Structure 1
Amino acid sequence: MDWSALLDRPFQQRAIVRGLPGLGVVIGTQTSTGFVARRTSELITAGTDDLVLTILQTGRFMQRQLGRETELAPGEAILGSGSDVGEVMLQPNSSFVALSLPRHAMIPVLAYIQDRVGASLPASSEPLRLLTSYVSNVLCGAAPVTSPILQQRVVSHVYDLVALALSRSPGINSLHGGTAAARLNAIKSDILAHLGDGSLSESMIASRHGITARYIRLLFQVEETTFSDFVRNARLVRAHRILTDPCLSERTITSIAYEVGFCDLSHFNRLFRKTYGARPSEIRPCKGARVLCSTRPGEER
């Protein structure tokens, strides 16, 4: 990004940066100048195609990208794309939290992720409130998360909450009412919490939530997907996170496949290759690589 002060004063920014495998977090406060940050075509060529979810805490924030101009109110959020030209503007005396997420980690769960770029998420969104609370309590505190296993779980939780916040629940609200939207979010949370159960099924989830399996199918149809697709893709995403984590390189592919809920290793291998274009063994970090398995401490700059 090309950064510049919004006011005719020396650029000033205070921020805390956290880095976890597959997740970047910036907690920023502007005290006097505000800023404009632009992503040009040259920066896209040399940069990343990560997705950035910005949550405005106080003040005013505006984003221009893909022909959309959106201004946020406190508590609202917006998704930005690192692979598209755009700019953001933060007014003086404003604060925000920005989450940087790999695009490949979100696509299997949200095939329509590009459609969500530039769309604001309302402060009334329950998944967004849960995400904001989780990030504030776990990632914005003074003590960083240093355990590799805890880091993996924290990143997984953030991915899951982002996916819920960005899901097309508004469509459910208009077709079936707010109760259905809340129910689908609860079903998704239940699925994500029990991915490792190879016997997970529509009937099992329906029984736990006091509804019919057919109703579950209807809820997922509104989002143009199915229960089976959601479960399969969520398992593949979780497996990919573990396989690409250098700190977990000693884990066997078989144990990872079973941990995320696949009961047939050959079936897992076929689905993984179809989704990611490579076998599980081909995306693993080099065994000879030296890796420091700890998060970067919070730093102010």
Structure 2
Amino acid sequence: MTVATDFATVRFSTDDLPEEDRIPMWREHYGYTVLGVEIEPAEDALFQSSIVSRHLPGLNLVLGNLSAARVKRTREFLADGNDDVALLVNYTAAAVIAAGEREVVLRERDAVLIRSDEVTTFERFVSGRSLLLRIPRPILSPLVNDIDEVSLSHISGKIDALKLLTSYTVTLLDDNALTAPALARLAVSHIHDLVALALGATRDAAGAAQDGGVRAARLSAAKTYIMQNSGRRDLSVGTVAAHLGVSARYVQMLFEVDGTTFSAFLLNQRLMHAHRMLCAPRSRRRPVSSIAYDVGFGDLSYFNRSFRNFYGLTPRDIREAAAEEPANP
């Protein structure tokens, strides 16, 4: 298990533990302390779990894989007085969650809101992956029309707000994200916006979310798509807009509000990719022109000019400097 300070992530995996220590360690580090639950692993399967979690002001994120098991918040744990609510998003394989006489079957990408002040059971019959977003009730309640009414109601994974929420949340679990407290508070506010929309936001909260969480999540999704596809020479603002299901002008506006432009962000991604390739030992025999074309440039002169403007050195300079650096032991 790795633990970091401040707002950084905490990672846990049973793969690092002897089989006889897996369940006790899971209970100690997550069941009893972070989640406030008991666990009953399936008798006929090896217990496996891997978790990435992050505690932020007003938000606790837990992304985990779990083998077949029953997880239960029992009456004993209710004595802790925790009244948080949590949105549980089921990523893979079916799961069942129940409280009182109510039961919800979650298919892939479906979600449900659960309460920490009632006995609740979550059960997996095969290994699966899920995301938990725990929020203090006093923060979320004013943003939602009727938080008690939507508790343990099935939320379809096809809802746009839920799709934006899950894609945006995963980026917040990156170790390099939210290094400054101000950024962390802003991101948490965006998550609150998106959770409220997925549950049924009040009119005022829905309006504020369009300029807050929705815009931030779409910008994040646009950047992720560009980074994953920057090597495509046909990548354009229209391509990204079609992927997001919005207009090209809206995508341009997202980047403008962020203090840049679509073209500048795409250019920077291609240049940084080229820089990494020039420094990589396995690419040192490749012609600079080949690298330029691979990262998405169609004009070698434009690549060389842009690279020098960005780094203050030519591609050849960068390659020679990297070749002179001693290899890591």
Shorter-chain TM-score category?
0.5 to 0.7
**Superimposed CA distance per residue, residues 232-280 of structure 1 (whole angstroms, 9 cap, x where no aligned partner):** xxxxxxxxxxxxxxxxxxxxxxxxxxxxxxxxxxxxxxxxxxxxxxxxx
| Aligned AA (1:106) | L
Which residue of the partner structure matches residue 141 of structure 1?
A: 174
| Count of residues in Structure 1 that have an aligned counterpart in Structure 2 | 177
Q: Does 1:157 align with 2:193?
A: no
The alignment yields a C-alpha RMSD, in angstroms, of: 2.4
Residue 68 of structure 2: aligned partner? 34
Unaligned runs of 5+ in 1: 170-182, 194-301
* Structure with larger RCO (C-alpha < 8 A, sep 6+): 1
Q: CA deviation at 1:12?
A: 2.3
Deviations 1:150-181 (A, max 9, x none): 01001000001000100079xxxxxxxxxxxx
Name which of 155, 176, 181 aligns with 1:121: 155
Q: Distance in 2 between matches of 1:185 and 1:111?
A: 10
- Within a 5 Å distance, the mapping from 1:38-49 to structure 2 comes to 38-49=72-83
* 1:20 alignment partner in structure 2: 56
- Cα 1:149–1:188 change in 2 (3 A) is closer
Question: 1:25/1:168 Cα in 2 relative to 1: closer, same or farther (>3 Å)?
Answer: closer
Q: Which deviates the most, 183-192 or 113-122?
A: 183-192
SS at match of 1:49: coil
Name the structure 1 match of 2:90. 56
In 2, distance between residues paired with 1:127 and 1:73? 17
Aligned residues with identical type, % of pairs: 29
Aligned to 2:200: 167
Deviation at 1:11, TM superposition (A): 3.0
Instruction: Decide whether aligned partners of structure 1 residues 164 and 133 sit closer, same or farther in structure 2, where only a CA change above 3 A counts.
Output: same
Does structure 2 retain, via aligned residues, the 8 Å contact 1:66–1:118? no
Choose from 209, 233, 240 the match for 1:189.
209
Partner residue in 1 for 2:281: none
SS in 2 for 1:120: coil
CA distance in 2 between counterparts of 1:141 and 1:91 reads 29
Q: Tell me if 1:130 matches 2:174.
A: no
Structure 1: which amino acid aligns with 2:57? Answer: P
**Higher Rg of the two aligned structures:** 2
Mapped partners of 1:56, 1:16: distance in 2: 15
Q: Alignment partner for residue 103 of structure 2, among 69, 76, 99?
A: 69
* Structure 1 residues 209-288: aligned runs within 5 Å: none
Gap runs ≥5 in structure 2: 1-36, 214-329
Q: Determine if contact 1:5/1:12 at 8 Å carries over to the other structure.
A: no
Q: Deviations over 1:97-120 (max 9, x none)?
A: 111111110111225101111111
Query: Structure 2: how far apart are the matches of 1:46 and 1:187?
Result: 35
Aligned to 1:11, what secondary structure does the other structure show? coil
CA drift at 1:47: 4.7
Could you say if the C-alpha distance between residues 110 and 7 of structure 1 is closer, same or farther in structure 2, counting changes exceeding 3 Å? Answer: same
Q: Deviations over 1:57-110 (max 9, x none)?
A: 111111001421101111111111000111011232211111111111011122
Equivalent position amino acid for 1:40 in 2: T
Contact 2:145 2:200 in 1 (8 A): no
Q: Distance in 2 between matches of 1:7 and 1:28?
A: 20
